[in-house]
Amino acid sequence: MTMKAAVQRNQRLHLNDVNVNPGTRKVVTYTLCALIPLALLHYYLLVPYQSSQSQAQIHTALPPSSPLLLKEAWHCNCNYSSGQWIPDDRGPLYNGTSCHTIKDNQNCMAHGRPDTAYLYWRWRPAACSLPRFDPWSFLQIISNRHVAFIGDSMARNQAESLMCLLATASPPELVYRDSAENRYRRWVFRSHNATVSIYWSPFLVKRIEKSEKAGIRHNRVFLDALDERWVKDLEAMDVILFSLGHWFLIPGIYYEKGEIIGCHVCPEFKHTEMGFFDVFRKAVRTTLEEVRRRHVEEGRRQRLVAVTTFTQAHFEGDWDKAGSCAKTEPYKEGEVQMEYTATPRTGQDQDGSR
């Protein structure tokens, strides 16, 4: 991932505007540290950055921020996507040995990763300051609220990172888990009556997932139908972060009104090959139209909704070939080619498909 790419693509979507047009913008996502300041700005209290010459391993949670600083941050007009990764000798608030939210098979440290230098970086916007995350203040502001991460592995990773950060201030209680796969989880911070949930929904809409063991290699995606697993809890959500993208690039068959309208990577079928952006738009539009409809019809209080798309690949190599990531520091600008772009005139994907 390039330094700039890591924070270049996060769309904040108000409930009164559900038109989606990726255009020429590159569809890459924020890392959590940049997603939260943009998507949750009026829920997010910040503390000033203070440099440190010591090589700290794990920093304890910081004291609450002042209302004056929050007011200053709220009125700051900054493009957080323009900047660079710089070394940060303070180290993280947590790591793989201090946070129990991280799944064992994703815990680099527990499985013997020898280096830790990748933990000592922070994103610095070019035109403004991005203060260190303040878990105490964040918990205060989401008191009596429900924050839901809905989508693919990016949503899960963001939620787990947030949980690790917040756990440095107050211990969370896991109140629901569906299975060992951890696809659906919910925590409560009793100290603040704050809830954080993860919903596995890689297309946001209804789907029947592929099963390689059963010889089914294509996902079946119903672009005009809702995923009731998260929709049934929608009314209880105050902040929603949708994440989707990569699953549209793997073999799939797409439906509308119960009929097949096309597919992706399906030479064995006589279906129309569909490009990424068309089905992506349909899924996002179906989701946001439903959120808006319920918001208007139910006359609900303000709800914050953000949509983040996806990064470059999470590892080097093919998605289904057990790739790895040997990087120990961020990519430099221009070191890797950006992917997933479309032109506004034709709506074509970069490979020429529609």
Instruction: Encode pLDDT of 92-138 as tens digits.
Output: 888 777 787 777 777 777 777 788 888 899 999 998 888 889 999 99
Mean pLDDT of 245-263: 92
What's the confidence (pLDDT) of residue 276?
A: 82
Under the banding of pLDDT at 50, 70 and 90, the label for residue 232 is: very high
What's the confidence (pLDDT) of residue 339?
A: 66
pLDDT at 346 over 50: no
Rg (C-alpha) for the chain, rounded Å, is 20
What's the confidence (pLDDT) of residue 317?
A: 65
* Better pLDDT: 186 or 310: 186
Nearest to 109, CA basis, from 99, 101, 118, 97: 97
Give kind and range of the element (H or E) at residue 243. Answer: strand 239-243
What's the confidence (pLDDT) of residue 282?
A: 95
Amino acid at 133: F
What's the confidence (pLDDT) of residue 19?
A: 43
* Better pLDDT: 119 or 30: 119
Q: For 202-231, how does the pLDDT look when each residue is reduced to its tens digit (9 = 90+)?
A: 999 999 999 878 888 899 999 999 999 999
What's the confidence (pLDDT) of residue 323?
A: 60
Q: For 281-334, how does the pLDDT look when each residue is reduced to its tens digit (9 = 90+)?
A: 999 999 999 999 988 887 766 889 999 876 666 666 665 666 666 778 888 877
Residues with Cβ within 8 Å of 221's Cβ and at least 6 positions away in sequence, in order, are 203, 205, 206, 207, 252, 253, 254, 255, 279, 283
pTM of the model: 0.75
* Better pLDDT: 22 or 131: 131
CA distance 52 to 260: 59
Helix H, strand E, coil C: the string for 281-332 is HHHHHHHHHHHHHHHHHHCCCCCEEEEECCCCCCCECCCCCCCECCCCCCEC
What's the confidence (pLDDT) of residue 42?
A: 37
Mean pLDDT of the chain: 75
For residues 246 and 310, the answer to whether their CB atoms sit within 8 Å is yes
Q: What percent of the chain has pLDDT over 70?
A: 68
pLDDT at 255 over 70: yes
What's the confidence (pLDDT) of residue 337?
A: 74
What's the confidence (pLDDT) of residue 347?
A: 45
* Better pLDDT: 179 or 63: 179
What's the confidence (pLDDT) of residue 213?
A: 80
Mean pLDDT of 184-210: 96
